[in-house]
Structure 1
Amino acid sequence: MKQLTLSGTSSRSDILIGRGLLGQAASHILEVFSPSRVHIVADSNVAPLYLDKLASQFDLPVSSTVIPAGEAYKRLTTVETIYRDLLEAGMTRKDLVIALGGGVTGDITGFAAATFLRGVSLCQVPTTLLAQVDSSVGGKTGVDLPEGKNLVGAFYQPRLVLIDPDVLDTLPAQTFVDGMAEVIKAGYIANPDILSMVSAPDYRANIENIIYECVKMKRDVVAQDERDTGLRMILNFGHTVGHAAEKLGNYTALTHGQAVAIGMVAAMQISNQLGTDTDLLPGLIDILQKVGLPTELTNDREEIFHALLSDKKKMGATVNFILVRTPGKAEIVPIAAETLHPLILNL
């Protein structure tokens, strides 16, 4: 088992990574927390697989909320359902909420934990690759609005994150592939060794080390910029155009991983338009296609431009784009809207 610690300004997250952790979850959880009761939130895909396995490990009262699976349900109405279940279960501020599932479940549950009674303890148990390498770590929580993705949220660090690579064996193939977009992102923005590991023919056999390197990278970035005002913005590589494409598809036409993959290609194309010594686009397309991710933006470019103007990364009249001109080194580049418009039209 590997362990990492993320120390924030007023909080600490212990992150454990190891095969078989889900079957030992309660013992690790009760080493950190002393709740009188536990509430587990899982979605309709994960609950039949793992909810009972986790709940049965506790000798104290356990309640649960099963939410519908999918980004389309990452809404305030879902958070309200969790609030009501927490109240019905008699949860107090000394008790524990566990997010058991993928990125959507983790984001929704984290936001509910951050805001219920002004904050209850939170443990993340991510069950998808995307959640394990990215969304369960770092404390970003939130929900979508019709106007855009993650426009309502909070920074709220989980005290404990338990990552069990064994649960990835039950993922549908496409769900696993979606997570690879965040893995490849980590390689391009900070650690090219990750790209080398993914390029191996049997990279899935090395998935525990790949997860560790991705989480370590994110831990290091978040430790320097917990509130996403500087360095942490590099984690948005591929997300600016990606979020716009998700929004235009009503969060159902593309998965998050597919959107990020397309968004990384778009960001690399913008790098080339602005000028770069090395064209990294062919290599990015090759590795994305190798793992089964899309690389072509099919949306109307004018619609993409107007959709990304509502993104959180827009600052006044500029949009912060994350560009990569050297593998392992990301740049935060503010681009004025009038400059960005023709760049988007030329994608």
Structure 2
Amino acid sequence: QMGLKGWQLINSGVNLSAIDYMLETMYLACCLLFIVYKNLQGTIPIDVSTLLCNKNSENNNNAISTFFVHTISRKRSSGFSETIRQLSNSSVSSNDPSEDFFKRLAGILDGDGNFDIQNLNGKRVLKAIRIKLHNRDLRILTYIQNQLHFGRINAVRNKPYSLYIVSTYAEMRYLIIKLNGLMRLKIKGFKESCDYVNIQFKEADYQIPANDPYFAGLVDTDGSITFNYSGNRIECGLEFKLNEYSKKLCLDYVIPGAKPYILERTHKSGGVEKHSILFKFQNVQNMIPIYDYFMINRLYSDMKFYRVSKIKPFIEIRKYKTTPKGSPEHRVYARFLLDWIQYQNPQWTKVAWVSKILDKDIVQEFNDK
């Protein structure tokens, strides 16, 4: 019923391939409905792949999707329910997180993760894989959960912390397979976890390659972005318990153009002597490489990412540190640093260098905020 207007469109040279495509689609739908009907009747389904492939007009050179063709052909041997199962599996696998995600996750677990191995009836059993973070960094946990589509997040009662927990055997085994060859610090627990799920442990390369997301996972959880007042620079640092694994860690190449200063030190905590290893990117020349790395591998800790994002603006005004206190330039410098240290940091007033840059007007300005 195209009528006069339809004939006018034809005479004016309009391409009617859209109508042809619509008819082909209707034909395809009829074929699929017929196959479903035959399946329900218990009869052998026909192979309509040749019909679908041949039903392609000269006006439309886009062939019907071979996805449907192969699905229908495969039905002859597997059955309709099996076809649906295969489609479901392919959909899940296509939505798996990327390799970069698991590199980052390995860093997060090496920073604040835990493989909960317990004795049960004389056997070592993996009860759960956990990540514990301050509620300020809850976004890291939700990011992991959204990527994996499993696990749960629980608040720690009466504490400002939350836990991401994976505790089913299938999900833990999936994670261990994906993380095998990527973990570098929590090796004792990870090796036992590999044994529990019957997987051979693979050792990671301890020389972290350029722009590897593993380092971002470490900094997100166990690292720091700090301001060195005497050096007038923004720094990135990591500190770990000194052991055979942390000692092998090589971060010389992960941030192109920057190498960390490494220090092994001994200190007392609660009357107990502890040994640690410190990696610190602390040169003024390191600031731009740090910024560039974290623009490629974004931090999910909002506070740390905010501090990194301010590196380039800081470079523009860091020269104002030596201007007279109370001058317009020094006030720009002071306001910048106070904003930088205040963001999501309720303990900012306890930072030693804060008192060195304050004057009465700026104190009043920040008190009014």
Structure with the bigger RCO (C-alpha within 8 Å, sep 6+) is: 1
TM-score clears 0.5: no
Tell me the TM-score normalised to structure 1 length: 0.27
Return the index of the structure with the highest Cα Rg: 2
